[in-house]
Amino acid sequence: MVDYKELVGRAKARDKEAFAKLYELIYKDMYRFALYTLKNPQDAEDVVSDTVADAYETISRLRDAESFKGWIFKILSNKCRRKMKDYVNKTTELPEDLPHKGDFTEDTLTREAFWRLSDEERLIISMNIFAGYSSREIGTILQKSDNTIRSDKSRALKKMEQMLNG
Give the per-residue pLDDT at 21. 94
- In the chain, the domains with their CATH numbers are 1-91 (1.10.1740.10), 104-166 (1.10.10.10)
- For residue 106, give the 3-state DSSP assignment: helix
Question: How confident is the model over 119-126, as a mean pLDDT?
Answer: 85
pLDDT digits (tens, 9 = 90+) for 134-153: 898 888 878 889 999 999 99
Give the max Cα distance, the chain: 58
Q: What is the secondary structure of 43-69 as a DSSP string?
A: HHHHHHHHHHHHHHHHGGG---GGGHH
Q: Which residues contact 31 (CB under 8 A, 6 or more apart)?
A: 44, 45, 48
Q: Count the Cβ atoms, other than its own, within 10 Å of residue 39.
A: 15
Higher pLDDT, 52 or 125: 52
More confident residue, 115 or 16: 16
* Confidence band for 6, pLDDT divided at 50, 70 and 90: very high
